Chains A and B, each alone.
Chain A
Amino acid sequence: MAAWSRDIRELCCLLLPVYFILLVYLFNNVEATSGNDSTFNGQKTEDGNQHLDSSKSHLSRSFTNQEERLSVFSLDYYHVQIPFEITLWILLASLAKIGFHLYHKLATIVPESCLLIVIGLLLGGIIFGAKERSPPVMSTDVFFLYLLPPIVLDAGYFMPSRPFFDNIGTILWYAVVGTLWNVIGIGMSLYGICQVQAFDLSDISLFQILLFGSLISAVDPVAVLAVFEEIHVNEQLHILVFGESLLNDAVTVCLYHLFKSLCQMHTILTLDIFAGIAQFFVVGIGGIIVGIIYGFVAAFTTRFTQNVRIIEPLFVFLYSYLCYLTAEMFRLSGIMALIACSMSMKYYVEENISMKSSTTIKYFMKMWSSVSETLIFIFLGVSTITNTHEWNWAFVCFTLLFCLFWRALGVIVLTQIINRFRKLIITRKDQFIIAYGGLRGAICFSLVFLLPSHVFPRKNLFITSTIVVIFFTVFIQGMTIRPLVNFLDVKKTNKRQPTVSEEIHIRFFDHLLAGVEDICGQWSHYYWRDKAKKFNRNYLSKLLIRDKEPKSGIVALYKKLELKQAIELAESGQLSKVSSSASLLNKKPQKVKNLSPDELKNIKDILAKNLYQIRQRTPSYNRHSLPREASENQVKEILIRRHGSLRESMRKTKRAQQSGAVKNSPFSQPQNARISSQPRKRNVAFTVGEDSNLETDSLQLDNILQSRMGPPPRHQEPCGMERRNEVHLEKGRSQKPISFGYDGGGAGSRNDSRRKPALMPRTRFDNLDIHYNECRRSRQGFVEFSPNNWRAESAHEEDAEVNDSLIRKPM
């Protein structure tokens, strides 16, 4: 224990000189840029190493005489200055992060963002102290163009889409109306304060105040993310605050530009006001449209990248960044564009690219967003230390007060209204957390720097008050929110993975509700979700997702072996149609067989989702780690189960064959021999994605099984009748819907009735005569347990997608 803490101390001590080395470099950079010529000597490093004070005073201006001799060893700093500085800053940020996480106790009390700001303050202080000059301030361009996009991209890419869209109404309500409320409230109250003569603020006009209000009301996604991800509140709350912080960008951008133009205009026409309102819609909707366009283009591009796997991640990043820049170019909301782009792109891209590319993308995104966030907070600290602050007690205090007050009031009022339209109401505790979680951060900071000084004589006052508000929210609110959450006993996330049965029941109720909605004829969001899925399946996926092929050699080999094995089994007569039918009727082997693909699908769901948990779902979003991937064990278990089921079904078929209908066996042999060639061909044409190899295998195997059952009509007649009667009986007796939609009203000689119950709904509407050899339909009908003509549902469209694309493959 003692050794351990000693290690920590040593490491911290190690980091300190590193910091000062870096500082020394920075000093000289600033100096160099400011025109002094000082060359940096190796000796200076040693100076810097020794003592704090001595390094500060002895630094710098040594002037070496440049002789005209050939120098064996020379130093040219300017050559590498800019990349060097940038890298140093980033390195500093990362070292700071290491430092924090080594000292656990600190990390639990103080959120990381605060620590980073403190480090920034220290650095800024040191630089200022030594230089008597303001340290390099993070420029607005750097922030908006380089530092913010990775964070937003990360947020959008990993955004859990289902809770997001479930709550989209509430989120938009808070984002748009809430921000407007805040802006007007804060603006008006501050204007009232400014009118009071005693405070010496009367030279600030109304529009200036409104502009200030608009930039200070914006809840900041960076700060919210940084704080909320450590406190693990329940997913509904998280998504509300987080979604609000992202989507209020449109309002902020719009109001900011509106008021800025209004400030500079001499006469205000009503036309301008209407233009402002119209601009809001343009900004918001335009941003989303730009995002979606870019997202689909990216998805389409990845459809063709199978030969250039290495650069697949590049496309994702390039298109996203381009999207952001395009939106910024048109003065639309860049954040909304980026969110729309990443959300729309994610699903299709994930289907098209390889596993490694997918992992690469996720890791890089996390890495960049982490670095960005760290840099933002450090710069925030550094930029605070300047001597250009203008302090006005009244303005600053009242700004802070009004920010808190109007936020709280806004949340309460808005929640009262929106709760009438929600099924899951937002409780008082949730409201408190939402209000308390309205943190301001770097966006306001950058926006306030963007204010033109000639229009705003009191710009420094604004900067000061912004900084105060940001510090207050990040430090005080950030630090106290965790104990408050614990104190109020807010519902936390459930880290447990949902069990398979939970998934099943949840899906069951989704279907139930969709069905009841259809009965009522009422369209609520289930209906729209179904519609969206249908559209997705029919058009988008065909366009944007590539036909799948097995990618890895091992997968292909495994499939080949399985095929061989299955064909051997079939040809040896063990998988005759009688036995299959017996097994199907029995339902028992199906039970086992059904388990694994279901498991697979569920596991894939869990994989693909990385959702926030709704009531009991997958683990929540985390800035610092990737969503949990399926472990090797799960895959192994699936394989084991599959083999077990295969063995069991073989045993059953053997038993059934021995006991069962002898008359059919003479049929089975020639048929099997005859049509053995065809399924093989079909199965080879089956293309499958790498992710779903196991699923495909099971389906393929089932395909083979079923194909054994699908001889030309005549032979199967007696069997078919027998089976159908059985099914009929069962249905009549117990009303068990074994085959869904199967109402027994089908036409007479439906030879492949066993395989086609799934098609019954269709046949009711249009009488189809389906031969087994017909490509699509037979593909659909071949497995009783995976009909793909059900347009309703899946809350997990990824898997339905996989299934469907597999099944619907024409031969």
Chain B
Amino acid sequence: MSISLEGRSHVLQCVTKLCSGCSAIAQIADLGTEGCKMVTKAHICRLYDRFEELDKSNKGSLSREDFQQIGELAVNPLGDRIINAFFPNEKQSLDFRSFIRILACFRPTVKNKLADPNAPEPINSRNNKLRFAFQLYDLDRDGKISREELIQVKSAMRLQ
């Protein structure tokens, strides 16, 4: 269930800026149950505001250029990698749902002890965090970190 463009603009028109994020919550409410238990309404609201702030052309999704507009990210040695992490699988646009998904990785680690083994792993579990970190190292997405990739990490860290 994704937020359609028309639906979203409708929401924007009908609701004030402050509450706009909250209606988005209804659309992505399943994120709370399925994915990350620790993303609260307040988080989603604030991230929605941020999403809109970044989405300068108001198209309802973020593209790489939007990310590259963030000044601090440009001077970050890992800026490109982080942006790539947001656009997996050659996607070129990022909707709010995916945005939240990826950021949900950064919530405090949830302990998996009580989890139902059949349920999908929460986004902020240790494994998923590790997977995310792995993606940052593995630039060519072949599932392995090659020597060259490691070398590049090293040289990236030198460049400060």
Residue ranges of A at the interface with B (Cβ–Cβ < 8 Å): 423, 503-505, 507-509, 511-516, 518-521, 530, 587, 590-591, 594-595, 597-598, 601, 734-738, 740-741, 743, 758, 761, 764-765, 785-787, 789-794, 799-800, 803
For A512, the closest partner residue in chain B by CB is: B78
Given the interface pairs A587-B148, A786-B158, A787-B159, the reply to whether A792 lies near B67 with Cβ below 8 Å is no
State in angstroms the CA–CA spacing of A537 and B17 once bound together: 39
B38-87 at interface with A (beta carbon < 8 Å): 47, 50, 53-54, 67-68, 70-82, 84, 86
CB–CB B153/A504 < 8 A: yes
Residue ranges of B at the interface with A (Cβ–Cβ < 8 Å): 47, 50, 53-54, 67-68, 70-82, 84, 86, 103, 106, 108, 133, 136, 139-140, 148-149, 151-160
CB–CB A512/B72 < 8 A: no
State in angstroms the CA–CA spacing of A740 and B158 once bound together: 12
CB distance from A593 to the nearest CB of B (A): 10
CB–CB A800/B73 < 8 A: no
State in angstroms the CA–CA spacing of A520 and B158 once bound together: 26
Complex partner residue of B76 from A601, A790, A803, CB under 8 angstroms: A790
Q: Which of A505, A740, A741 has the most CB of B within 10 A?
A: A740
State in angstroms the CA–CA spacing of A457 and B32 once bound together: 66
CB–CB B154/A598 < 8 A: yes
Complex partner residue of B73 from A518, A765, A793, CB under 8 angstroms: A518
- Residues of A with C-beta under 8 A to B50: 519-521
CB distance from A450 to the nearest CB of B (A): 47
- Residues of B with C-beta under 8 A to A520: 47, 50, 103
State in angstroms the CA–CA spacing of A791 and B157 once bound together: 13
Given the interface pairs A594-B158, A764-B74, the reply to whether A737 lies near B139 with Cβ below 8 Å is yes
Complex partner residue of B157 from A423, A507, A764, CB under 8 angstroms: A507
- Residues of B with C-beta under 8 A to A738: 152
Complex partner residue of A736 from B53, B68, B108, B152, CB under 8 angstroms: B152
Given the interface pairs A598-B157, A740-B159, the reply to whether A511 lies near B76 with Cβ below 8 Å is yes
Given the interface pairs A519-B67, A734-B139, the reply to whether A508 lies near B153 with Cβ below 8 Å is yes
- Residues of B with C-beta under 8 A to A786: 158-159
For A509, the closest partner residue in chain B by CB is: B133
CB–CB A792/B140 < 8 A: no
CB distance from A389 to the nearest CB of B (A): 53
For A758, the closest partner residue in chain B by CB is: B159
Could you list 13 further interchain pairs (A-B, Cβ under 8 angstroms) beyond the known A597-B158, A791-B72? A423-B108, A504-B153, A504-B154, A507-B160, A511-B78, A515-B78, A518-B70, A741-B80, A764-B68, A764-B74, A787-B159, A792-B75, A792-B77
State in angstroms the CA–CA spacing of A587 and B149 once bound together: 12
CB distance from A460 to the nearest CB of B (A): 53
Complex partner residue of A800 from B68, B79, B81, B160, CB under 8 angstroms: B160
Given the interface pairs A598-B157, A737-B139, A800-B160, the reply to whether A591 lies near B75 with Cβ below 8 Å is no
State in angstroms the CA–CA spacing of A597 and B154 once bound together: 11
CB–CB A594/B154 < 8 A: yes
For A507, the closest partner residue in chain B by CB is: B157
State in angstroms the CA–CA spacing of A591 and B155 once bound together: 8
CB–CB A514/B152 < 8 A: no
CB–CB A519/B74 < 8 A: no
State in angstroms the CA–CA spacing of A736 and B146 once bound together: 12
CB–CB A515/B139 < 8 A: no
CB–CB B84/A790 < 8 A: no
- Residues of A with C-beta under 8 A to B156: 508, 737, 740
Given the interface pairs A508-B157, A512-B136, A590-B155, the reply to whether A518 lies near B80 with Cβ below 8 Å is no
